[in-house]
């Protein structure tokens, strides 16, 4: 195991000992065609819900 691998493993072990667990998170590709329009649509829906709860 190389020095960097050992450091990474030590860091991960420390985090696990602190109760953390690694996760993989998938997020939308902002470069995809239609992303700005979909972002705007969903943002408007969230705003409407927020306004109804005020």
Average confidence (pLDDT) over 16-40:
97
pTM: 0.55
**10-26 tens-digit pLDDT:** 999 999 999 999 999 99
Residue 52 to residue 54: CA distance in whole angstroms: 6
Percent helix / strand / coil, the chain, rounded to 5: 60, 0, 40
Question: With 80 as the cut, is the pLDDT of residue 3 above it?
Answer: yes
Per-residue model confidence (pLDDT) at position 9: 95
pLDDT at 1 over 80: no
- Domain borders along the chain are 3-53
Q: How far apart are CA 45 and CA 53, in angstroms?
A: 13
Residues 6+ away with beta carbon under 8 Å from 36: none
CA 36 to the chain's CA centroid? 18
């Amino acid at each position: 195991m190389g020095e960097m691998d050992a450091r990474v493993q030590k860091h991960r072990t420390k985090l696990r000992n602190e109760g953390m667990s690694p996760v993989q998170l998938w997020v939308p590709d902002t470069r995809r065609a239609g992303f700005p329009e979909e972002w705007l649509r969903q943002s408007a829906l969230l705003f409407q819900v927020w306004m109804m709860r005020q």
